[in-house]
Amino acid sequence: MRVLFAGTPQVAVPCLDQLISDGLEVVAVLTREDAPLGRKRVLTPSPVAARAADLGLPVIKANRIDEDVISAIARTEAEIAAIVAYGGLVPPRALEVPRHGWVNLHFSLLPAWRGAAPVQHAIIHGDDVTGAVTFRLEEGLDTGPVYGTLTEDIAPEDTAGAMLDRLSHSGSVLLSQTLHGIDAGRLSPVPQSGPVTLAPKLGLEDAHVHWAEPALAIRRRINGTTPEPGPWTLLDGKRFKLGAVGLEPSVTDLEPAVLRVLPGRTPRVLVGTGSHALELHQVQPAGKKMMKASDWARGLDIDDEGATGKQVSFS
């Protein structure tokens, strides 16, 4: 079966590799156009485009699937399209081109978390389990019938980045098995059932930590917005990025947003929340690289009791 693969970010690359490894005939790759990256804003191919070039596959670059792109897809004579985080809408006209339609690998247990940021929302909202599904793409937002499902536990320390990495590899196997099942004529999709929740794309404000919230909710927000958009707060009016944190339920006397440094060979940095303290493990002050919170704390002006006299602003 001739396959068109559509995808853009790194999370889609394992899927492309899996299809090739499993002997599927990938006839072309559809990905978004080169984008400016870095301080010098150098035009850079997407991770999927770069991998396709390594594999010697024809590449169609488009941020929007218009009539010209639909014609290019038709010329590939693909019998089915596999799509993983392409980053653009597939119009009804394009859905009709491959005779077996489009199969979407989505990183949630649909109909939970339909949308662009399913893993991020699952972590922020405290889900214990997430997963991935393959479904037949249709005009609605992630509404199509499901071919296959896998599940994955969410550990307390899991970030969105770590979870997506795991799902990209396990999901690549699911996608390959789905395409083989369709090709063999032994797999039919089943309509979705259950409560619907939505997972819109996260913006910078979604990653803003509000210290008056309970500690567990804050850790979930930090984990769910790592690495993108990247959790942050304000210190002395400047954006202060946050890395990994831990719960410190024994400390309940700190006011929300107030810092306390526990002196020692490796200083510990605690922050008050709406419940109990959190311990900062990694931080990134404005203009600097991510570092251990203990190294950052050594540069603070603290008294013998670990008071900094500073307050993290969440305004």
Superfamily (CATH) of domain 204-313: Formyl transferase, C-terminal domain (3.10.25.10)
Exposed, middle or buried by CB within 10 Å (0-12, 13-18, 19+), for 184? Answer: exposed
Domain ranges of the chain: 2-183, 204-313
Q: Residues 284-298: what's their mean pLDDT?
A: 93
C-alpha distances (whole Å) from 109 to each of 19, 127, 202, 233 are 22, 11, 19, 31
Contacts of 185 (CB under 8 A, 6+ apart): none
Q: Residue 279's pLDDT is what?
A: 97
- pLDDT band with cut points at 50, 70 and 90 for residue 302: low
Do 143 and 192 form a contact (C-beta atoms < 8 A)?
A: yes
- pLDDT band with cut points at 50, 70 and 90 for residue 209: very high
- pLDDT band with cut points at 50, 70 and 90 for residue 236: confident
State which CATH number among 3.40.50.170, 3.20.20.70, 3.40.50.300, 3.30.70.1400 fits the domain covering 2-183. 3.40.50.170
Least confident stretch, 4-8, 75-79, 216-220, 252-256: 252-256
Whether the bond between 45 and the residue before it is cis, its omega within 30 degrees of 0, is no
pLDDT, tens only, 52-86: 999 999 999 999 999 999 999 999 999 999 999 99
- pLDDT band with cut points at 50, 70 and 90 for residue 306: low
Q: What is the average pLDDT score of the chain?
A: 94
